[in-house]
Amino acid sequence: VQLVESGGGSVQAGGSLRLSCAAPRYTYVRWCMGWFRQAPGKEREGVAAVYGRGVRYYYADSVQGRFTVSRDATNNTVYLEMNALKPEDTAMYYCAADLVTGGDWRSVDLWSCWGQGTQVTVS
């Protein structure tokens, strides 16, 4: 599964960004989509995920209320809307996909397909 992220950039604290992840059409119905991030010197961590066609949504505590994950069937794209950004949100953000059937969505090992990443810098 080829995933293509876009939308990263530099923003001041308090600002907003929207990340996009384009995925193949066949992933929309059954595949789960996730967003992860990795800051320098830190492990990759789960940010948000959407299972199925919006059946379930998951968020890390650190982004709850500030970030929103969504998926659009018309263009097979998953979005991560990021508001009230903080310097600690600075990281490389990755889109992930898998036919997840169980386990902790925050586990990197649960996801088999990854995008190339897009950098988000908050100053």
**Segment 32-73, tens digit of pLDDT:** 999 999 999 999 999 999 987 777 899 999 999 999 999 888
Lowest average pLDDT, out of 9-13, 27-31, 113-117, goes to 27-31
pLDDT at 75: 85
What mean pLDDT value characterizes the chain?
92
DSSP-assigned letters across all residues of the chain: ---EEE--EEE-TT--EEEEEE--TTHHHH-EEEEEEE-TTS--EEEEEEETTTTEEEE-TTTTTTEEEEEETTTTEEEEEE-S--GGG-EEEEEEEE---SS-TT-GGG--EE---EEEEE-
